[in-house]
Chain A
């Protein structure tokens, strides 16, 4: 009955390539790319294609990433039991991520002396110092007084700046007018190794 209406020309249903049967298995788009980036985009696509073929989950690494932690591929193995942990796959624990907020501004420093024992800083500990953080009152800081380094707790009160030691055997340092104080960085953690 109605089948006869399309005898001359026009689209024939079911003809042509199947939807999503191309190399990317999904819709594609035409796009302009700066020629300097063509190679980079091409290589990313090649990687993507090869992974699609291998039927693994695709993770495109950031360009120039120093390291890429790949999650374990979701298993598609037919034989055997599926891992019961598969649905609970999470990131690995990365101490760097946990302890370092501003990578480019973070420096490690070795502690000398016991003036900060009360704050849990022992001789030989490694301090993680972030230069990007603001030196608020109460924070432990690396300070430079007249060209010399020191680690102390910073106190600001009514315009008076004091660097406090956390050990009764050490005196606080009152910043007098005329002496130069530079806050080099803020201590965010201390690494105390037992072994």
Chain B
């Protein structure tokens, strides 16, 4: 029988902060998104105060202050480094690993003959002592069941962080499913949940007891797979190599509201470069570029507007000397003055492998040749990328990059 484990870090961002600031242990912590916009992570203590995920920072500022909840700006260099340490340790426990997100990883334990529960306890202990990050492990005969098991390992302390859902009796298993809304099941998004709710499938148990034909009609083959996974037939394989991205978005809330065209242009040119870098790293090219800007929907004083425009191209392009000016030109066409823009971004979609099957009439531009061949080519920027940096994000509460910068090491 197949057997999977899902290893998930507990409150990962908050835990990373605690490793280097032990006095934060047992304190309520929230972590803010890029630009200190909204709350993207909470420690258990902060959850207990009723702080919600995604809440805009300014809305809960007073509450955070009253309850002396620690506020941190997101420190992705730190989180990324800690994540790769955790993932490497996990990889020692199975030859087949899927890094599912920054703080979650599936491993395949099919055919392992030892006591899996104590094997996973060892893993949990090792990650904790080596990195300081607490994790929980869910075991199950399918990925979906392992995910459910992890959920239980997190909620009930008596399982000591490791839970095997296959050991649950059918009766207890159904009771568990009854306590979950169907949208809480892994792989059921909001749209699917709405469709299911319309035919009175509300809890995970309703889903489990529904007819497979109904599930297939409503959700297609993906829904059918989840249904079978729930019953213990493994349909979802471990994906060791992440599938190529279908689109790349680079967007940001600006540090302050921008009313000047030049400022917005600087922001979007820089975001365009970031998107191109991400795309090139995966050797992809794009045939569709979208640019969007919007005003603050929470603002009471100014009127709201959201502008966007998409440009299609006849051949896939990966060259920044084409794409960055294109973004600028697109912005110029759609820009409307008189508004305070607070967010913007660039999306590259229709991505294909960058084989540069050039069309007959284009040649590699001289600038792009220069970029790739000159030793300092990557230092060259477009004039549109320069400016007063008014758009750059706020990170007022950021901790040091303890593990990736010699000047910011932990001082003891």
> Contact residues of A with B, CB < 8 Å?
36-37, 39-40, 102-105, 107-112, 126-127, 131-132, 142, 144, 147-151, 182, 184
- Asked if A104 and B130 sit within 8 Å, CB to CB, the answer is yes
- Does any Cβ of A come within 8 Å of B371's Cβ? no
Residue of A nearest to B128 (CB): A131
- Asked if A149 and B241 sit within 8 Å, CB to CB, the answer is no
A-B contact pairs, 10 of them (CB 8 A): A37-B240, A104-B130, A105-B85, A109-B409, A127-B412, A131-B130, A132-B130, A147-B23, A151-B412, A184-B22
- Asked if B22 and A149 sit within 8 Å, CB to CB, the answer is yes
User: Number of contacting residues on B, CB 8 A?
Assistant: 23
In the complex, which residues of chain A have a beta carbon less than 8 angstroms from the beta carbon of B85? 104-105
8 tightest Cβ-Cβ pairs between the two chains A and B: A147-B23, A105-B130, A104-B85, A110-B409, A149-B412, A144-B22, A110-B411, A109-B410
Cα A39 to Cα B402 with chains together (Å): 37
Known A107-B403, A142-B412: A36·B23 in contact at CB below 8 Å: no
- Does any Cβ of A come within 8 Å of B184's Cβ? no
Contact with A along B204-240 (1 / 0, CB 8 A): 0000000000000000000000000000000001111
Cα A25 to Cα B25 with chains together (Å): 61
In the complex, which residues of chain B have a beta carbon less than 8 angstroms from the beta carbon of A104? 85-86, 88-89, 130-131
Report B282 CB to chain A, min CB distance, Å.
Answer: 15
Report B12 CB to chain A, min CB distance, Å.
Answer: 16
Residue of B nearest to A63 (CB): B240
Residue of A nearest to B92 (CB): A104
- Asked if A109 and B241 sit within 8 Å, CB to CB, the answer is no
- Asked if B412 and A111 sit within 8 Å, CB to CB, the answer is yes
Contact of A131 among B23, B25, B131 (CB under 8 A): B131
Within 8 A of A (CB), among B117-160: 129-132
Report A95 CB to chain B, min CB distance, Å.
Answer: 15
Contact of B22 among A37, A103, A110, A182 (CB under 8 A): A182
Cα A184 to Cα B20 with chains together (Å): 10
In the complex, which residues of chain A have a beta carbon less than 8 angstroms from the beta carbon of B411? 109-112
